[in-house]
Structure 1
Amino acid sequence: MNRRDILKRISFLPLAATGIASIAAPKDSAENHAAGNAANNNAANNNAAAGNTGNNAAAGNAAPPAVTRDLFAELGVRRVINADVTMTFLSGSLMLPEVLEAINSTSHDFANMFELQDKIGAKIAEMLKVEGAMVTSGAACAILLSTAACITGTDKDKIKNIPNLPGPRPEVIMQKSHRYLFDQAVTTTGATIVEVEGPDGMANAFTPQTVMALFFNAAEKHSVTHEDFVAIAKKHNIPTLLDAAADVPPVENLFKYQKIGFDLVTFSGGKMIRGPQSAGLLFGRKDLIEAAKLNHSPHEAPIGRPMKVNKEEMFGMYAALRSYIDRDHRKEWDGWLERANHIGSRLNALPTIKTEVWINPGPANAFPNLLVDWDQNHFKITPKDVRKALQDGTPSIVTGAHGDKLLIGVVLLRPDQVDIVIQKVKEVLTHAV
């Protein structure tokens, strides 16, 4: 399932869901300093207790620490169980305990943001084995900063005046099948997008105004392959950007595309890397990263100034990436499969229910899910209506769809939420007999 499919599904959710938020610990970073260690302790305790019920520790979403102030209740915001995939309108994913610890432990001191971006960028570049890297406010910001960097370089006048530069508008090449909502980040810089189809069409599209070529990794069709895309652009000495926002797991994707030769690559920080939702990664050629920094905060007037990243998010993103690279990915994957099979075995006890573990082929959201089907002559309700009933219930549970089947995502569930999802799905179905 790619992001285009997910965006289409957003219209299914009622406007009442505007108040939706994650079921993560409700304290903010300023209040939660004392809770950082408790979050780590609770994570260990919950994971240790979960193994016998299919809520394997490798699935890794720990229950929140005890709270003394319930901001969800105070503000009238519903908690949501995310039994689907990572989506921005559902607040991304749940940050790991070590990410919360990084945020909380750095929130009580000031830092020079120029130094911090440089130092963290250098460490991230080292982890990813590239020349340069930076933390951005999400992958969409990384697309804008990449485009701006390719337009301005280090030219101070261009940085000051973008997007209102004199002369013809800069051009960015994209495959026609790769056009998507997020390419507005390109045109925000004043650039125009030139659509191409096939290697020959791309080769003939370069002009003196061409500044960059953008490849949307999760597009359904590629009329130009990754390798040909890079080769054609390099022949014309034009930088390439790969948007792979939701394209881990597998962890190898963090390294795959710069090996192909893309000059810049971006991933979202707040999806399966499980860093701060508003953070992202941009990495690749050092000269382009340095130009992107000049177009970003903490510089006072560039186009990226409104997309600033605070120091806590930078530290949190660093901690999240380190954790993601270092973890046991096979154990995590096996935990997801165990969880999906556990849910399936419980639901299969109902008449006519059939379940199967389905692994999204990716590249976006490439992980296990559980598909649920039933005889609608027995349970007189459609998967769409089951999804609505679950979402409108208490607690609100957001599920997905794959074809005409109900999709239960397992990778974002906390261990204590697994049996809740099972029970609520059973209730909705049995009430429809």
Structure 2
Amino acid sequence: MGVYDDLGIPRVVNGYATLTSLGGSLMPAPVTRAMMEAAASFVDMEELRIRVCAEIARMTRNEAAFVTTGASAGILLAAAACIAGSDPGKRSRLPDARGMRNEFVTQRCAHTAHDFSIHHAGGVRVSVGNDQRTTPDELAAAINDNTAAVFVTPRGTGPEGMVSVGETVEIAHAKGVPVIVDAAAQLPPPENLWFFTRELGADLVIFSGGKGLSGPQSTGLILGRPELIDACAFHSSPHVYIGRPLKVGKEEMAGIYAAVKCYLEQDHGALMDSYEAQVDHFTTELARVEHVTVARDFPSEAGQPMPLARITIDEEAAGMRRDDVMNALLAGDPPIILAPAGRDGIHINPQTLRPGEERIISNRLLRVLLSQQLSALRRERE
């Protein structure tokens, strides 16, 4: 019996993604072991933070790093750092940023709900372009004396009409304005940990600790320029200002340190091979179902360079709806959660599957799909 059994909560087979609503990722043994070791002793938290952040900066080939309580917290602190810097007077006023540079230029075509955290720091989003595209001229014209930073969320190569991260950096830096990159889900590849900063020149880059890194879900990394990273720390716990609620415990500090170390030591080629093998399993096992097409999709829904299995149901010919299939999977034991893909498709993401779970999913899908088709056939005959 475990804690989930005590609480009467079923364990879920997650073929969707590293979603916060499903617990992020599964931490490997070295991470949980580091957290348990950290929990057993008192420590000077400031010394721990400094050492952990220095090691993470070294491992990720960045000038500086900061650990916070998730990617959204990282956005808040990065925004505060760009608005108020390390000015004690300005820090004490946030989130009241009147009279300060507090505008953050974003591209409407690359907008996500997560950049709402800018507002928590007293920032104001200025969206440019339309839902399909932003031009470099539109981006440049939006930068003015009130601009604190340009904020960009890459998704692989980004939307077709998006100004790229590299070009965004060139435009912003030409006007003396920093760039914040929200790369929360942009792992893999591991090279992204230094690509946005070292190769493209972004000033601050934010990653989730509980997604691709497989660290504690309540952690996040801010990587980048030392003066801005210092400003993030200046606004954060234990200081009693806007970042005080974003407290990282000693257990999470140890966990994210171990997670970054494990991630960078991992054989990513072998990991991608395992993902491909799982996708191949789905395309082979489910190909025999009539009115159902199974294919390999690439890249992932977040633009990561990894494969997904895509199941497309001809709803009219099959006599069943995609949503009915997904609901049947969710109602089973164990519950299986997969991702909707378009109007009539289902994505299976191997990133969150444990060994053997691909067979659980394919066996259940076969039963559900065939039973749904049998029910439809019976209805036709009645």
Structure-1 residue corresponding to 2:136: 199
**Residue by residue, what CA displacement relative to the aligned partner does 1:121-171 show, whole Å, maximum 9, x if unpaired?**
111111111110011111111111011011121111211221124436621
In 1: Cα distance, 2:161 partner to 2:181 partner: 13
Structure-2 residue corresponding to 1:253: 192
Task: Give yes or no for contact 2:313–2:322 (8 Å, CA) kept in 1.
Answer: no
1:85 aligns with 2:24: no
1:405 aligns with 2:337: no
1:391 aligns with 2:330: yes
Q: 1:168 to 1:328 in 2, by over 3 A?
A: closer
Q: Per-residue deviation at 1:329?
A: 0.8
Q: Per-residue deviation at 1:352?
A: 5.0
1:28-427 counterparts in 2 under 5 A? Answer: 69-167=1-99, 170-197=102-129, 198-218=135-155, 220-258=159-197, 259-299=199-239, 301-351=240-290, 353-360=292-299, 364-373=303-312, 376=315, 379-403=318-342, 404-427=344-367
Amino acid at match of 2:29: P
Task: Give yes or no for contact 2:54–2:64 (8 Å, CA) kept in 1.
Answer: yes
Q: Per-residue deviation at 1:181?
A: 1.0
Q: Per-residue deviation at 1:354?
A: 3.5
In 1: Cα distance, 2:97 partner to 2:275 partner: 50
Amino acid at match of 1:387: M
Q: 1:92 to 1:263 in 2, by over 3 A?
A: same
TM-score when normalising by structure 1: 0.79
In 2: Cα distance, 1:201 partner to 1:351 partner: 49
Amino acid at match of 1:421: I
Amino acid at match of 2:141: N
Q: Out of 238-247 and 224-233, give the one that drifted further.
A: 224-233
Q: Out of 192-201 and 273-282, give the one that drifted further.
A: 192-201
Q: 1:187 to 1:373 in 2, by over 3 A?
A: closer
Q: Per-residue deviation at 1:178?
A: 2.8
Task: Give yes or no for contact 1:297–1:307 (8 Å, CA) kept in 2.
Answer: yes
In 2: Cα distance, 1:228 partner to 1:341 partner: 37
**Residue by residue, what CA displacement relative to the aligned partner does 1:70-123 show, whole Å, maximum 9, x if unpaired?**
221222222211011111111111111111111112110112221111111111
Q: Per-residue deviation at 1:412?
A: 1.1
Aligned length: 364
Q: 1:140 to 1:336 in 2, by over 3 A?
A: same
Q: Out of 165-174 and 285-294, give the one that drifted further.
A: 165-174
In 1: Cα distance, 2:317 partner to 2:107 partner: 47
In 1: Cα distance, 2:100 partner to 2:66 partner: 30
Amino acid at match of 1:264: L
Task: Give yes or no for contact 2:95–2:122 (8 Å, CA) kept in 1.
Answer: yes
Q: Per-residue deviation at 1:376?
A: 4.9
Structure 2 unaligned runs (5+)? 130-134, 375-382
Q: 1:362 to 1:373 in 2, by over 3 A?
A: closer
Structure-2 residue corresponding to 1:39: none
In 1: Cα distance, 2:301 partner to 2:189 partner: 10
Amino acid at match of 1:181: A
In 2: Cα distance, 1:268 partner to 1:221 partner: 25
The CA RMSD over aligned residues, in Å, is 1.9
Percent identity reads: 35
Amino acid at match of 1:204: A
Amino acid at match of 1:294: F
Amino acid at match of 1:87: L
Specify the SS of the correspondent of 1:195: strand
